[in-house]
Structure 1
Amino acid sequence: MPIPATPAVDRSLLRDDVFGRLRDAIVDGTFAPGEQLKDGDLAGWLGVSRTPVREALLRLGQSGLVVTHPGRSTVVSALDPHAERDARGVVAAMHELAVRESVGHFSDAQLDAMREANRRFGVAIELGDVEAALRADDELHAIPVRASGNHALATVLDQFTPVIRRAERLRFGSFDGQASHARHAELIRLCADNDVDGAAMVAFDTWHSLSTTASPGNEGDAEASARPLPEKD
């Protein structure tokens, strides 16, 4: 009797998980600008083979979060103000479009979810909990994106939002986080009033107002390159 064919294992979830964990480790500062990323070390840390790690590094390179020098090394990119400016413009435009396509179609439950996310965002800002603020901010802005039903828009945001995440982390750790809380409240009010132009303008300004955070000289940070990988979960 012949051996039955074994269904192919879907590796997409593994690839996405590896990509997400490496992306988040760069955004949250676990891997610092200028730090060298070795696929073998990363594979050991994540408990996977080198293949999904290499694929993830390629995707991170497309997002501008790492820089690969062929035949030499892959390092975390410096906080480049020009790259952040370009990504900020794209992300702001996508969120403006998401709001334009969503206003008038929000359910009461969706608006309530935005209000609840902003409430938690405000509490997190008051407590200085940057991670909680970022999670709440993600949840709030994801609602118009999902409501738009525009998958192309969501794909663009997945690529470019991580580039400006490092700017967001500094912003939400400062007094400017209160300004974001007020902008969120105004955005929700305008969405509830079905004010397409007003809501779209606030959505654009919320993202476009993020300041750049680059500091020169990070590319060659030898101390960062020598740091050990974080403990495996």
Structure 2
Amino acid sequence: MPVPSSRGVRKRSLLRDDVYASLRDAIVDGTLAPGERLRDAELGAWLGVSRTPVREALLRLERAGLVVARPGRSTTVAEFDPASTLSAQQVSAAMHELAARLAVPRLPDTALDALADANRRFAAALEVGDVEAAMAADDGFHAVFVAACGNSMVAEVLEQTTPVLRRVERLRFASLQARGSVAQHERIIALARRRDAEGTALAVRENWLSLRFAAAGT
């Protein structure tokens, strides 16, 4: 058979990713509440897509711990589970620590500037209470290390562990506790500018593990 055009493949990939992101965000922001039953047809009608990308997205969300599937019975939004959230946090912290350790020796000045710019946007979003912008800026900050680390498996693992942490991040970034992350980011940037890979890695790890206190409500 003829080889399909790459253009068509990209469109299909983007569709799957968009459906996944839309459902993930709806779970994180509470549009789809914990315990709510998820039906393929209803979700497809809501998003304007067929059932296939919805089913694929639900499988990814199940692996990420945001959805509970009971074969032959129902699929529901997962309840918040402190134990699984802590497990995801520990793995995420380890992956981001590794990314920083690998990336710092090879970071160009433009990447260091990108870290500072992301933290400025993060601080500005917190100042006005824009949780969505704060989460996006925080993602951009940590993505600098992930993109530069040279280990593609880091991003693959984070795709599995990060979604379940979104609920905790949303709560943290809506509170005054998030202001501490701005200072943590500044310390990370200073260490990276000094090319202190070990110090940067440990500071990144500390930043991610600080989410635990928000999860515990302390």
Q: TM-score, normalised by structure 2?
A: 0.92
Q: Which amino acid aligns with 2:113?
A: D
Alignment of 1:77-88 (within 5 A): 77-88=78-89
Aligned-partner residue type, residue 150 of structure 1: N
Q: Which residue of structure 2 aligns with residue 50 of structure 1?
A: 51
Task: State whether residues 79 and 213 of structure 1, in contact with CA within 8 Å, keep that contact through their aligned partners in structure 2.
Answer: no
Partner of 2:15: 14
Does the CA-based 8 Å contact 1:79-1:214 persist in structure 2? no
Give the equivalent residue in structure 2 for 1:68. 69
Gaps of 5+ in 2: none
Aligned to 1:175: 176
- CA displacement 1:37-69 (0-9 Å, x = unmatched): 111000101111111111111111111100011
SS at match of 1:34: coil
Aligned twin of 1:219: none
The residue type paired with residue 33 of structure 2 is A
- In the aligned structure 2, how far is the partner of 1:150 from the partner of 1:80? 30
Query: What's the Cα RMSD here?
Result: 1.8
| Pair 184,6 (structure 1): closer, same or farther in 2 beyond 3 Å | closer
Looking at structure 1, the residues matched to 88 and 30 of structure 2 have their Cα atoms a distance apart, in angstroms, of 19
More helix as a share of residues: 2
Report the number of matched residues: 212
Map of 2:145 onto structure 1 = 144
Q: Which residue of 2 aligns with 1:26?
A: 27
Q: Aligned letter for 1:135?
A: A
Identity of aligned residues (%): 55
Please, which runs of 5 or more residues in structure 1 have no aligned partner?
A: 216-233
Aligned to 2:194: 193
Query: Which has the greater radius of gyration?
Result: 1
CA deviations over 1:67-113 (Å, ceiling 9, x no partner): 01111111110110001000000000000000000112111111111
**Which SS does the other structure have where 1:30 is aligned?**
coil
